[in-house]
Structure 1
């Protein structure tokens, strides 16, 4: 069976369109499933700007399906992985919207902090979506969601998800390491860990503030003493004191 997205029988108006060449401005006709085309005027070859490579981030048959993948896609494959991880996290937690919401907020803060700090977005965001993934098994085995049980059970679940999605071994190892001690910083930590840690602290403090109330002076003391990055402190002040 041919992928419906690539079968012309399923195409709708707009499946064939024109794009201005980024080099000379000449009009170049694209079919929606073209990965790239060459400008007939200046011969510059460029990627179809409207092609969605999302499925190619995890499908083992991507190259056979849409042809040789362009270099621009390959350079961003890890970045696309985070979106698949987010989906798998939601599937794993099912109707537990509290934990889904927490992971999503942590990912949002981690992305902002990471942009300032210059961390690896693929590692940080995958770790953000999966950092509490061990809670389900922790509660089944120990009747507790305590941090040490989360950290004990989380790496194996995270590894299964990442391997299923075809993540690269170095990324899997780093994400699982972060998940396995995300509440307990070591004496020496990677920048990716620090960004995730600070993002999780913000989300947890935000929840405490809404539930019990935290006075600004206490929040400021926590930010000054417990956060690991300048970007994390800045984001915490904007979120919690702004």
Structure 2
């Protein structure tokens, strides 16, 4: 009897470069990473260090990822970059070919929102999602339900999707730090 294993997780398919050493950005101590490590604690300074070569690969989109990786799949699939990529795909599907300029404006706004959020050490997913969807939603006149469905299609859960939609409303909370980022990114 043969037990099938996903080739991405089966170490018999790995190459020597899939296990490597990288210096700790905090203290310089060498840390051994395996390609499927998301982050490890430095054995010297005990700081959490992200794997500089981590690639979510198929776990970002595969519907069997949770069977293959367990809770790690949820962690991978909830990373801001992965959610942003899924949201971009959903937005591209919803917009038509005639909306090329609108899509480009949305992509630029999301990129700028991410840069600002990272510089300000703020969680980027809310301002990035709002900046990505906002221009298209306003121009196309999408309803709350359409925006929420688009966000949920990208893997953003209901409560968070609702809060993102609130950021798109013109009468939203002006003191909200996400609103400030969105305003700067979309102007």
Task: Give the TM-score normalised by structure 2.
Answer: 0.66
**What SS is found at the alignment partner of 1:69?**
helix
Instruction: Tell me if structure 2 keeps the 8 A contact 1:85–1:161.
Output: yes
Shift of 1:173: 1.0
Tell me the alpha carbon deviations over residues 156-209 of structure 1, each in whole angstroms, 9 at most, x when there is no partner. 222112222332333211112223x2xx344745221232123212xxxxxxxx
Equivalent residue number for residue 132 of structure 2: 129
* Structure 1 gap ranges (5+): 136-144, 202-242
CA deviation string 1:127-168 (max 9, x = no partner): 111113336xxxxxxxxx4xxx62xx2432221122223323
Aligned length: 178
Look at both structures and tell me which one has the larger radius of gyration over its CA atoms: 1
Q: Quote the Cα distance in structure 2 between the aligned partners of 1:37 and 1:185.
A: 43
Matches of 2:50 and 2:173 in 1, distance apart? 45
Query: CA offset at residue 10 of structure 1?
Result: 6.2
The aligned counterpart of 1:240 is none
CA gap of 1:194–1:27, structure 2 versus 1, over 3 A, is closer
Separation in 2 of the partners of 1:119 and 1:36? 20
Q: Which residue of 2 aligns with 1:178?
A: 167
Q: Residue 133 of structure 1: SS of its match in structure 2?
A: helix
1:106 Cα deviation after fit: 1.0
**Residue of structure 2 in register with 1:113 after alignment:** 116
TM-score, normalisation: structure 1: 0.54
CA 1:76–1:195: 2 relative to 1, 3 Å: farther
Equivalent residue number for residue 87 of structure 1: 89
- Could you say what secondary structure the match of 2:136 adopts? coil
Query: What SS class does the counterpart of residue 53 from structure 2 fall into?
Result: coil
2:184 is matched with which residue: 195, 198, 212?
A: 198
